[in-house]
Structure 1
Amino acid sequence: MTVQTKTKPDDTRARIIETAEALFRRMGFAKTAVADIAAELGMSPANIYRFFSSKHAIVEAICQKALAELEAEAWAVARSPGPASQRLEDLIMATVNYHKENFLTERRVHDMVLVAIEHSWDVIRAHKQVMHSIAERILREGIAAGEFEPVDPAQTARHIMRSLVAFLHPVLIVQCLEDHEDLETEPRAALRFLLRSITPRR
């Protein structure tokens, strides 16, 4: 007698996300319908809607997963050894390179992030909060080590991230690329300029 294994809801949800992401990468978000995702999985569109209320909700989940990868890289930077100023620079450059890479070589991933910005602002806001928290942690450690003045780390992290938004926002970074800005040296120079204001004068 054959025993049928019941698929767990979390497994089905993960399969939907994985299949949808592959189709979005191949066909693009606009050209992919929920029916296409369902057909690829051998299930009905109604079954997809049991797990996701809309195609945008699927993109939100994909975007959340992608941004979680960037956040994991950012936390690794924060926990690495070395001066706080260097770790802040590494954090900014990790973000710049992530968005630049998505736009240049994974354009359809970049497009999905744009859809999430438009329709799933909560996901983007949560991601921004994580990145601010990481920058704040690095600043706190720099203050404790005497590398920075005893400023308010949370407020300073917000100021730094907002001041560098042209290099950190996936929409604005496209403008930088189209204007042929040097995204290797300019973000670094801008951050160093900002950090001079909180670096003790010897």
Structure 2
Amino acid sequence: MKVEIFSSYIMKLLCACNTGYKMARPQTDIDAGRTTLLEVVDDLVRKRGAVDISMTDLAAAAGMSPSNLYRFFDNKEALLEAVAERFFAEKVRIMVDVTESDLPVQDKMYQFFARRYLAMVEQYEAEPDLLKSYLEIGQQYFEVVRGYVDLGDHYLSLIVAEAMELGYFEGLSIDEAVSLINQMVQCYTNPDALFFVGTTKLRVEKLATIIETIFRGLGKKSSAHTLAQPHIRIVS
């Protein structure tokens, strides 16, 4: 998997994050109006679940005309992007904070996953039905969400590159290491796991053990040293 940013939309996300990402505080009537409308979207999703929300529906729920709604969002795509930005804001802030920190690289990778996982748990415990509905909406409009998935890979690649400079993950490319690590910690990055596995089993202590194991054994040379005669046969 190539860790690349493919669209101008992703470049916009990166520019925002590299300058110190944080949710913009409402400074104008437009900003305040958008914030209020996104709260109305929350209310609609609470009441209706993952049912598609049209601009007309939102205008009616907000008590304004459709033409007035377009003052705040140019079209439905702009609305969906704003919803996604709000949903991922805390996770993006965490990624920026961690990658820019002076933590040792192993702690940095652990914090990168653990803090975002705990943010998901907080969403889950506060309003599980709302979270589930937003996850379903995200599946319906994955092209909007995809940018944040790619952004996560971008920041993980920075941590992997830093680790490689210290001698970890020998014999692997950055892309290979990112792909393998993502698969190993998938239960801690996929919000659906909160519903199917549960927070009792998905503990941050287990995540710490996984990260420690990754640093001890991930790499073609490490595997060769650990297993003189590999005993796992690849199925075909």
TM range (shorter): 0.7 to 0.9
Q: Does 1:194 align with 2:222?
A: no
What corresponds to 1:183 in structure 2?
203
Q: C-alpha deviations, 1:16-74, integer Å up to 9, x for none?
A: 224323x24764645997667435543124544673755x9745532332213211211
- Tell me how far apart the structure 2 counterparts of residues 142 and 30 of structure 1 sit (CA, whole Å): 40
Alignment-mate amino acid for residue 185 of structure 1: E
Indicate whether 1:152 and 2:173 are aligned: yes
Count how many residue pairs are aligned between Structure 1 and Structure 2.
Answer: 192
Which residue does the alignment assign to 1:161? 182
8 Å CA contact 2:50, 2:134 repeated in 1: no
Distance 1:182 1:68 in 2: 23
Structure 1 residues not aligned, in runs of 5+: 1-6
Counterpart CA distance in 2 for 1:181 and 1:129 is 27
What's the counterpart of residue 72 of structure 1? 93
Alignment of 1:113-132 (within 5 A): 113-132=134-153
- 1:97 aligned onto 2:118: yes
Give TM-score, length-normalised by structure 2.
Answer: 0.66
Q: 2 CA distance for matches of 1:48 and 1:119?
A: 23
Structure with the larger helix share:
1
Distance 1:141 1:187 in 2: 20
Q: Deviations over 1:99-139 (max 9, x none)?
A: 21111113254134313322110132211111111111011
Do structure 1's residue 62 and structure 2's residue 83 form an aligned pair? yes
TM-score by length of 1: 0.75
Q: Give the CA deviation at 1:95.
A: 2.0
Q: Quote the offset at 1:96 in angstroms.
A: 1.3
Higher RCO (C-alpha 8 Å, min separation 6): 2
Partners of 1:79 and 1:14 in 2: how far apart? 28
**Aligned residues with identical type, % of pairs:** 20
Q: Distance in 2 between matches of 1:73 and 1:193?
A: 23
Q: C-alpha displacement at 1:158, in angstroms?
A: 1.9
RMSD: 3.3
Q: CA deviation at 1:140?
A: 0.9
Unmatched 5+ stretches in structure 2: 1-27, 226-236
Deviates more, 1:99-108 or 1:135-144: 99-108
Letter of the structure 2 residue corresponding to residue 131 of structure 1: G
